[in-house]
Structure 1
Amino acid sequence: MTETPETGRLEKDLPLRDDIRLLGRVLGDTLREQEGDEIFQLVESVRQTAVRFAREGSPSDRAELHRLLDGLPPEDMHRVVRAFAYFLQLANIAEDTHRSRRRREHEIIGSPPREGSLAFSLDAVIREVPDAADHVAAFFATALVSPVLTAHPTEVQRQSTQHALQQIADLLDRRDRLTLTPDERQEADETLKQVVLTLWHTRMVRSERLRVIDEVKNGINYFRSTFFTELPRLHGDTEDLLHARFPAYEWSLPPFLRVGSWIGGDRDGNPFVTAETLQETVRLQASATIEFYLDEVHALGYDLPLSERLVPVTAELSALAARSPDASSQRLDEPYRRALIGIYSRLAATAHALGLPAPIRQAIGTDAPYATAAALRDDLVVIRDSLQQHGGARLTTGRLRRLVRAVELFGFHLAPLDLRQNSEVHERVAAELLSSAGVCTDYALRTEAERVAILSKELAGTRPLYSPHLSYSEEVAGELAIAFAARELRERFGDALLPHYIISKCDGVSDLLEVALVLKEAGLARGGASPTTEMQIIPLFETIDDLRRAGNTMDALFTLPVYRSLVTSQGNVQEVMLGYSDSNKDGGFLTSGWELYQAELALMRVFAEHGVKLRLFHGRGGSVGRGGGPSYEAILAQPAGAVSGHIRITEQGEVIASKYATPDVGRRNLELLVAATLEASLTDHERRGEHADHVAQDFHPVMERLSAVAFRAYRDLVYETPGFVQYFRESTPLAEIATLNIGSRPASRRPSERIEDLRAIPWVFSWAQCRLMLPGWYGFGSAIAAYLADTPDGLPMLQRMAQHWPFFRTLLSNIDMVLAKSDLAVASRYAELVQDVELRQRVFAMLSAEWHRTRDSLQQITGQAELLAENPLLKRSIANRFPYMDPLNHLQIELLRRYRDAQATGADTDDERRRRGIHITINGIAAGLRNSG
């Protein structure tokens, strides 16, 4: 048979199908053994019917699903729900394994570098940029690429579940990479069955709400599983790649890729983050870091048993060995081992000095602690230099090289931790401090100009406002305690621990000056003629109005002498954070994207005028409705000049697990970020092709028109349609998500039914559960329809925009993905949960009409006959997984109906069981969608 692209793709996907069948068979066997043949046959009948219905859409199959699932006793319903939820999680493992398999196969056969790899982006720079080596060297000299793990969980899996799933992933990987003997294959199969059995008997959902410290521990686990090894490895591989491309240069790169965290420092709307929480967070981070160093130093001792009777060493190495407390006669001629034993002893002493737990493996003797991580690095460099100078250079390219880099990256603090709080809280803190000190008793009533004048005067002075002899409200005392704790922790662990202070809901100059005032009271900023700050103060612009004012706000700040002095003290760099989630909830997907783009253009102009370097921090979530989507394309869709070697991006929710749970997948995603940042910084990615000069001149005005219509359509639905809030709350599992124990913070910023007060995560997560995905597409269809009605010959312009403008092309790609993951038929069944029939029919008719307008508009522009025509991998993934989601949606609707009816009638029998069943369906549907929060 002649191979076509389709048959070739099917052939390549055979291992994936084999893995899915294997995992499905093991799960099925476990189900039969543990729950009986009757339950197994029920699940199998549901599975076969759901697959058949997904393929053929037969009404008889839908009716059969109703017959099989409606009226199931609660215990049987739970068993069916768990079976399908686990199957989707196992299918995800198979897909991730297959992606790694395909990537390895390409590397083995020597395929050209693939898009998203560092080699691909570097080759693009070499092709397009004159004197590429000089530009690449300049890029890496100052580059900062930083994914930031945030305390915004939509990850519904427990750690115990994730551990079992990771074991399964390791087993699949081993089967794929190794040729096993029959006995080894039998043992591997038996181990797989044992892990799946363990999974089946493991509680799927949490019985209690996560504490902040639980979230911290979860975040640290990703360092243990991925970041400790892959960040140093990627730095080393990058140096090797640059050596290969530019052999005339010496490549010794500073750390350019750092993983940050908000977890334990983000107080916005989370009353459980206190000074004590911050201190415990740092203690846990430092403990994990030094534990890792101790293990690596111990392993190096086994790697380097070199005898100075056989090979000389440097004088520095001899001195380092001589300081070691190791007096064993067996190692007198092994200076490297003795030096490493000394390093181990100093690390153990460092742990004690920092108030951390003692290492499990005790040091041989006592020694002085390291004052800084740089001192530890210096000792490791002594070992490296001695090896390199005496025939052992090859011994420095493995574990030792990675450990030196790890110390540079992680210090003793693990990850830079951001502090964040809402601007309204800072206003109250400043008002109380000023009032208590007798400076101003009516600060909250003052105009913005008056506030700026008052704050500027205080920042230019040197006297404190805070006094330990005064009493403050609980809120103000708590905020000051955080600032004082931050100062003390920075003194113990170094400035890199707490470098940033982020202000959410920032909308004016006084918001930043209020934070500067708090930092000054804590000793983290200094007043006087030229005020300074030790922490970067970062505004977060979140609403549509705030984004539109962002440029003017920063212009006013830089014009203010006192703030300009603070910027100077930070190396003339100012970071600005842009909020994708709340701007989407405020103005809809299309307008949010466009206003973010325009805000970046405005900020670039203002920063250039003032001679300040702009660093952007993108507050993206996992779903398209919260700024998600493929990271590589998203970075390249930024305006030309907006990246410039510096970028920070939040990583949130279940996306953290999907990107970083395993070393191989984590390495790939880290490399994507670096590759995209390099390419976006050094190539003119917005101006490629024959329409390069038309981006601003022709495309921007069209986008402005589209955004205006989309904004109005979205606002009319969400904020102006009578009864919409009721429809949303009744047709989605919003209330049940709020009790899911997936995070430590409340679902709303304040007790209220308003959409404005609801956090973006439950807003987006709820629409994903009912398979409508509204935040990722609503308004686009109306915008395109209105544009083409006013401009009948406008379709070619839209097609040129799609072809030649990365921003618009990425926008269309994300809409394509979201529409493909949505299902109006399923959503219509959730609509039946709305008690008011007229409201249900009216609102769902609006949603359905806009969905069809959006799909038709997308296909008009792209010329595709069906969704995901140009994304066969995602199309395949959806085809594999979605038939197994339909039964979960069906059962979720039934459980919601039973649970709400019981609540309405006051009956409390089986309430807890129903709620637990709902939570398990939420878990399974989230696993099937993968990027839903």
Structure 2
Amino acid sequence: MTDKETTASVGRTLGITKPLRYKLDLIGRLVRQVVRQQAGIETARMIEDLMDLCEAASHSNQWRSHTNLQPRIADLDLDQLVWICRAFTAFFHMVNEAERQEIIRINRLAAQKETSESPRKGSILEAIHLLKQQGLSEDEIRLLVQELDIEPTLTAHPTEVRRGTILLKQDRIAELLQRLSQDRPLSDRDMARTIDHIAHEVALLLVTDDVRPDRLRVHDEVNNGIYYQTHAIWETLPRIIDDLSEALSTYYNINDSSPFLRFRSWIGGDRDGNPFVTHDITAQTLDAQRNAALDNYRKSIEALWKELSISSLRVAVPHALMENIKREAGTIALDPDKLHRYRFEPFRLKIAYMLAHLKQFQADPDNSIYSISQFRNDLTLLQNSLADCGLEALSSYQSLSNLTIRSRVFGFHLAALDIRQHSQVNGAVIAELLALGGVSENYPTLSESEKVYLLEKELANPRPLCGELGDFSDQTTELLNVFKLMRRVMNKDEQAIGAYIVSMTHSVSDLLEVLLLAKEVGMWRMKNDVVTTPLDVVPLFETIEDLQEAASLMEALYKNALYRRHLSARGDFQEIMLGYSDSNKDGGFWMANWALHKGQENLSEVGLKNNIKMRFFHGRGGSVGRGGGRANQAIFAIPIQSRSGRIRFTEQGEVISFRYARPFIARRHLEQIVNALLLTAHDKECDVGCSPPMQALMERIAIQSMQAYRKLIDDPTFWPWYKQLTPIEHIGNLPIASRPVSRVSASEVRFDDLRAIPWVFSWTQTRYNLPGWYGAGTAIEEEIKNDAQALEQLQSMWQSWPFFRTVIENVQLELARTRIEIAQAYSGLSQDRFHDIIAAEFEKIQSAVLKITGQEKLLDNHIAIQQSIVLRNPYTDVLNLIQVELLRRWAEHPEEQSMPLRQALFLSINGIAAAMQSTG
């Protein structure tokens, strides 16, 4: 970002494409220009000097230069440090957008070259093409597509640090940058105007607070989620479904546009550890989602009304349409003027009735006679009527076709809302109900078998425990109100509520307790041994121990006669959620991955043995340390036994804004998931990882890796070191979400209570990235030292086992993003031996990865990512060194712990998050 050596010149040495290089150069020039205007030449020169020094240190690997930089940064006043953070934060946000636009450009070029004989890699067309080449018959492909079931799930976990105001300004800059990428070059005048406009937006960006003045409310998070659902997701889903329909038509002459892709949400429904998510908030969330969906339908219907100006004087109007219009006159009133004006335009008249129904439903959904099924029937009537009056081409008209698909995907509820609560809360409420009902005074002290016996007995008893007459605690009143809300909503629209998810599931009783709560409010009934309920109950296995015991627990649950009757009511379907975040925090990266892989294998075998139709729900975060990485590669790594074509996965924080801010990116992301799921659902052949020696080797590495990880974090002096070293205290106070960083207290942070998201967030800030790799280096080194064949085995696994390859790919990505030399600057904040231990482990795992993959440097097999990291490093280093200085001032001068200093720390956190493109 300096005049001496711009980002573009760095880009040339790294081989970055010319269009991206141009944008990087432009972004750098505009930020420098605005800084000069707003902060003065001296500040601008200071920023450029720091950049020169960091670039020189980074490119020459002379880390002493970074050490020499620290005194210079220490001499700067707070205003100067803030200006540097602002400038580089804005720079990185725009670089991220430029890279995103380059991804779009490259993929569009590939799409232009696509043919049925040579489909794009990762596309839906490619998947069907490959399946055709593999000899799948028409019946086999129909069955495969019929089983396809994909449900991404949006969550509001606190990992998106940017304000909505900042996001809107970045969107405007993105639109302007995109103008510079258009196929038709702009005139010199338009080019100059566009660049001036970008400069004005950058100027506004730099004087807008990055940090929110107040913590996000749940209402804000709900609105953020709705924004993505009603824009890019709303736009993209019909295209994905059309893509599969066209691929089936191309290779199999099959016409199928069944909706296999739907979104769910946790936002406003996830109350685990979040006291602000009440039953009232959940009700408001459901209302907001419904109103957003109806607003979009009304806009689409109004557009359709403008298009379908078909006169009965020009075409023969189908009898079915005219009869329907006559019936509508008896159900809902239209303005007499409209009836007269559109008397010769029956399609418009029918659409006017549809709009009237939607308006009435939106005003009073509980008493409206209109429903989503009637809305779908009306759309089908329009399509059939167009075909019947000789307008076959219009019957599949894109806007009408897309609207029909959306009605089947989004319904009137937009996205099914999951309800999540901790098993301890459910158990405490059941204990209170049993005590008040005179059934048991000591439920919490009962053994597991005694609890199960008591719960079975009460579930079989038709009378409620307390009914409406109990004098309940606040916690019990609240949870019962949640279940009453679920009952009321599902009576009207069963699809509006997804499932009830039980966090920290440890036992059979944890699931039976939920059934008893549902029975208490009348949404679970059993008569003559037949259960009736709309509710799916989903266990969430999160710790290493729970993952290892999950198959045994589910076996016991399937053998439980009463729960099996419950499953019969749900079509013998069981969803199981796997927690990637807490398992990683509990056992380290390698053990978590292995425990999750084995858990899926064992759970699938148990489900198959018991004739249960299963779907795994993968609770992945954005970072590798929380199960993140490329979603399609994760699907290819799924165990053979678990490849069913059915999947759910969470989309969290900054991942949502990256994947779903632009329809093209959203479409590419989702098509890669569909591609992977189609190919893996068919591929059931055992790979090299199924061999006992490979499994045994993975097991030994996992055990040793977890031992090394736990040895580090269980050291009595580790936690005080971590709290002094990282900005975790400030992350806890950053107003980026409604949910506290700790399950117990927002102010007191302890390891056991700290959520996995801020745990990973804090390590990302310091550039250690420890949750993404720690422990495996020691384990692999020991295996190679003790077994001469181990390295050859590991290299074979890398070549042939998708799961192992994905693990290594994710490890090397986190290693490449790690900056041990910069992390050492943080270690100066807390004198202890831990930095040397972590640095030694880093060298071990880096050496192991290079040996296994046969590379000279990390990411030699992913040059574009490697180049992006190299380009970003010097600029990110500046932000890190500033953050170290700010943390030092906070710790050493309590009298200076002012709001401006804290805001500066918040700003440094935002800047590093933008630079790393990752928080938690």
What TM-score range do you get, normalising by the shorter chain? over 0.9
Q: Name 2:790's counterpart in structure 1.
A: 794
Cα distance in 1 for partners of 2:670, 2:808 equals 25
RMSD, aligned CA: 2.0
Cα distance in 2 for partners of 1:642, 1:174 equals 45
- The answer on 1:638 being equivalent to 2:634 is no
Q: Name 2:7's counterpart in structure 1.
A: none
What are the residue-to-residue correspondences of 1:371-386 with 2, within 5 Å?
Answer: 371-386=370-385
The 1:68–1:21 alpha-carbon spacing in structure 2 relative to 1, beyond 3 Å, is farther
Cα distance in 2 for partners of 1:266, 1:590 equals 28
The counterpart of 1:728, out of the listed 702, 722, 730, is 722
Q: Name 1:880's counterpart in structure 2.
A: 871
Cα distance in 1 for partners of 2:392, 2:872 equals 50
Q: Does the Cα contact within 8 Å between 1:125 and 1:683 map onto a contact in 2?
A: no
- The answer on 1:91 being equivalent to 2:91 is no
Q: Name 1:512's counterpart in structure 2.
A: 511
Q: Does the Cα contact within 8 Å between 2:264 and 2:498 map onto a contact in 1?
A: no
What are the residue-to-residue correspondences of 1:255-274 with 2, within 5 Å?
Answer: 255-274=259-278
The CA deviation at 1:109 is: 3.0
Q: Name 2:215's counterpart in structure 1.
A: 209
Q: Does the Cα contact within 8 Å between 1:623 and 1:931 map onto a contact in 2?
A: yes
The counterpart of 1:856, out of the listed 840, 847, 850, is 847
The 1:387–1:8 alpha-carbon spacing in structure 2 relative to 1, beyond 3 Å, is farther
Which range is displaced more, 174-183 or 409-418? 174-183
The counterpart of 1:25, out of the listed 4, 11, 29, is 29
What are the residue-to-residue correspondences of 1:234-273 with 2, within 5 Å?
Answer: 234-247=240-253, 249=254, 251-273=255-277
- The answer on 1:227 being equivalent to 2:233 is yes
- The answer on 1:106 being equivalent to 2:110 is yes
Which range is displaced more, 745-754 or 590-599? 745-754
State the aligned residue count.
Answer: 897
What are the residue-to-residue correspondences of 1:792-871 with 2, within 5 Å?
Answer: 792-834=788-830, 837=831, 840=832, 842-871=833-862
Q: Name 1:148's counterpart in structure 2.
A: 153
Q: Report SS of the residue matched to 2:152.
A: strand
Q: Name 1:918's counterpart in structure 2.
A: 905
Cα distance in 1 for partners of 2:27, 2:11 equals 24
The CA deviation at 1:188 is: 2.3
Q: After TM superposition, where is structure 1 displaced by more than 6 Å over at least 4 residues in a row?
A: 6-12
The CA deviation at 1:159 is: 0.8
Cα distance in 2 for partners of 1:820, 1:10 equals 16
Q: Does the Cα contact within 8 Å between 2:89 and 2:912 map onto a contact in 1?
A: yes
The CA deviation at 1:132 is: 4.1
The 1:613–1:336 alpha-carbon spacing in structure 2 relative to 1, beyond 3 Å, is same
Q: Does the Cα contact within 8 Å between 1:348 and 1:369 map onto a contact in 2?
A: no
- The answer on 1:717 being equivalent to 2:723 is no
Counterpart of 1:737, as a letter, is I
Q: Name 1:52's counterpart in structure 2.
A: 56
1:634-664, Cα deviation, whole Å (9 max, x unpaired): 0110101313011000111111111111111
The counterpart of 1:928, out of the listed 905, 909, 915, is 915
Unpaired stretches in structure 2, ≥5 consecutive residues: 1-9
Q: Name 2:3's counterpart in structure 1.
A: none
Cα distance in 2 for partners of 1:459, 1:123 equals 51
The CA deviation at 1:103 is: 0.5
Cα distance in 2 for partners of 1:8, 1:157 equals 31
Q: Report SS of the residue matched to 1:616.
A: strand
Q: Name 2:356's counterpart in structure 1.
A: 345
- The answer on 1:781 being equivalent to 2:780 is no
Cα distance in 2 for partners of 1:456, 1:539 equals 18
- The answer on 1:570 being equivalent to 2:561 is no
Q: Name 1:407's counterpart in structure 2.
A: 407
Q: Name 2:755's counterpart in structure 1.
A: 759
The 1:294–1:756 alpha-carbon spacing in structure 2 relative to 1, beyond 3 Å, is same
Q: Report SS of the residue matched to 2:618.
A: strand
Q: Name 1:660's counterpart in structure 2.
A: 660
Which range is displaced more, 220-229 or 887-896? 220-229
The CA deviation at 1:808 is: 0.3
Counterpart of 1:810, as a letter, is T
Q: Name 1:365's counterpart in structure 2.
A: none
TM-score by length of 2: 0.95
Q: Does the Cα contact within 8 Å between 1:114 and 1:120 map onto a contact in 2?
A: yes
Q: Name 1:546's counterpart in structure 2.
A: 546
1:74-122, Cα deviation, whole Å (9 max, x unpaired): 1111111110111111100000000000011112233743432212222
Percent sequence identity over aligned pairs:
36
1:563-619, Cα deviation, whole Å (9 max, x unpaired): 000011110110000111111111111001101111111111111111111110011
Counterpart of 2:165, as a letter, is S
The 1:657–1:693 alpha-carbon spacing in structure 2 relative to 1, beyond 3 Å, is closer
The 1:874–1:809 alpha-carbon spacing in structure 2 relative to 1, beyond 3 Å, is same
Q: Report SS of the residue matched to 1:294.
A: helix
Counterpart of 1:343, as a letter, is M
Counterpart of 2:387, as a letter, is Q
Counterpart of 1:708, as a letter, is I
Cα distance in 2 for partners of 1:295, 1:9 equals 50
The 1:369–1:462 alpha-carbon spacing in structure 2 relative to 1, beyond 3 Å, is closer
Q: Does the Cα contact within 8 Å between 1:257 and 1:674 map onto a contact in 2?
A: no
The 1:717–1:64 alpha-carbon spacing in structure 2 relative to 1, beyond 3 Å, is closer
Q: Does the Cα contact within 8 Å between 1:516 and 1:533 map onto a contact in 2?
A: no
What are the residue-to-residue correspondences of 1:439-838 with 2, within 5 Å?
Answer: 439-492=439-492, 494-528=493-527, 529-684=529-684, 687=686, 692=687, 695-719=690-714, 721-751=715-745, 753-834=749-830, 837=831
Q: Report SS of the residue matched to 2:575.
A: strand
The 1:7–1:19 alpha-carbon spacing in structure 2 relative to 1, beyond 3 Å, is closer
Q: Name 1:315's counterpart in structure 2.
A: 319
The 1:171–1:320 alpha-carbon spacing in structure 2 relative to 1, beyond 3 Å, is farther
Q: Report SS of the residue matched to 2:151.
A: strand
The CA deviation at 1:388 is: 2.4
Counterpart of 1:829, as a letter, is A
The CA deviation at 1:184 is: 2.9
- The answer on 1:41 being equivalent to 2:45 is yes
Q: Does the Cα contact within 8 Å between 2:161 and 2:910 map onto a contact in 1?
A: yes
- The answer on 1:894 being equivalent to 2:885 is yes
Q: Name 2:4's counterpart in structure 1.
A: none
- The answer on 1:127 being equivalent to 2:133 is yes
The CA deviation at 1:47 is: 2.4
Q: Name 1:361's counterpart in structure 2.
A: none
TM-score by length of 1: 0.93
Q: Report SS of the residue matched to 2:919.
A: coil
The CA deviation at 1:219 is: 0.6
Cα distance in 1 for partners of 2:369, 2:392 equals 27
1:350-376, Cα deviation, whole Å (9 max, x unpaired): 101128xxxxxxxxxxxx945311111
The CA deviation at 1:10 is: 7.0
Q: Report SS of the residue matched to 1:707.
A: helix
Q: Name 1:358's counterpart in structure 2.
A: none
The CA deviation at 1:67 is: 5.0
Cα distance in 1 for partners of 2:246, 2:397 equals 10
Q: Does the Cα contact within 8 Å between 1:153 and 1:654 map onto a contact in 2?
A: no
Q: Name 2:286's counterpart in structure 1.
A: 282
Cα distance in 2 for partners of 1:12, 1:771 equals 24
The CA deviation at 1:667 is: 1.3
The 1:621–1:59 alpha-carbon spacing in structure 2 relative to 1, beyond 3 Å, is closer
The CA deviation at 1:52 is: 2.7
Cα distance in 1 for partners of 2:386, 2:220 equals 42
The 1:612–1:872 alpha-carbon spacing in structure 2 relative to 1, beyond 3 Å, is same
The CA deviation at 1:899 is: 1.6
Counterpart of 1:659, as a letter, is R
Cα distance in 2 for partners of 1:60, 1:533 equals 67
The CA deviation at 1:320 is: 4.2
